[in-house]
Structure 1
Amino acid sequence: MSQSSALWVEPMEDAARIADVGMIVLARFVEAADTVAHMDVRLVRPGQPRTIWPEHWKEHPENMVSYRPSRAAISRYEEVMHDWLPGLIRNEEQRVLAAKYAMCLAAPGIAGSWRKFCKESGRNRSTADARRLAAFQSVAGQLIKNAQLLRDPDWSRVMPMLPKSAIDLDRIRDRASEADRPPYWRAEEHYPLKMPLGQP
């Protein structure tokens, strides 16, 4: 391995590590938002109805699924909201966006959609996405830097709330089939009428 390519290996490994830990950090934020949405602690919030469901759900109680956060989920919530959010995200704007994005994923019935939040608050959605992503990556980078133990969320609870990945694993080709093709490929109908010199 040449020296110039060796210089790129470590930053690429760090970026991959931050991306992996960033996914866990996002899941922990979503789990914390879900936990706080389902905690029923008396005398903490103002008087309000005890349910987020519309009234017609009361007519069919067999369709309602009750969820009460476990002690471990509440402990993870406290770590995220009381340690990570104020201590590891320095920018106030990123703090607001990270917490609101997690709440929008965990409880859209309470918080509304992320798109609606960006529109109502006058934020450009792509800028808000970049800033909340930077917040999650900042937390992930600092957790790696400080070598802190990272507890997993309750994946069975969190996975349905997380956004779908843009990667379609069925469409990924294996490397062996790529070796059989030339380095360039065009469909027959996409070739230009006049080929430049040196092209087949």
Structure 2
Amino acid sequence: MILYFSKPEFYIPDPSQPESSPKLEFTTPLFRRRLSQLTKMIVQVVHDVTETTGIKNAKQVFISKRGDIGREFSINEQLINDEEILPAGFSLSVFNTPIAQATLACSLKSGYSVIFPSKGNLYQALQAALAPVICKDEKEMLIAYGDEYIQEEYGSLRPEDNRAMAFAVIASSEKKEGWKPLELKELKALSPEEILEKLK
């Protein structure tokens, strides 16, 4: 089945500043004050794709291989040091926070879900995310993917592809002028970077 994809909006930090993040100038300083790199990137790309397409009523699906690794690190550090996790630290899930903050920043009210791709298989995650569009239960779906830079404290556990990136795209079952037609299987076995290039 052919789906139609909007022009993807993306954020990839300069390699010389791998921990940099968008400035989010369309939000208030209070809103963006304590957001992680991943959350800032997702807020930015979701904002950009909803602005460029004018579509703000599509449900959102957030996909991430690692989630908010900085938040996870701080939770683990607290567990090691204090042998407990305070509710305030745990209340912001490492996977729900980025897309939840994007919905707040962009005033999106259609609802969101989060998918963790098993063994990093982004294609399977996309299949699950786009199933409602393929089945025509939903006309459109906003897909946001992102992973942030893994800090040096992880040492040798950091993967070789330790590069932050995020992109957002809207997929539709209906043909739209200027949108790219693709069969989902064309994205099989591709890395996030390759998928982004395919969608451009």
Normalised by the length of structure 2, the TM-score is 0.27
Query: Higher relative CO (CA 8 A, sep ≥ 6), structure 1 or 2?
Result: 2
Instruction: Specify the structure having the higher radius of gyration (Cα).
Output: 1
Could you say which structure has the higher helix fraction? 1
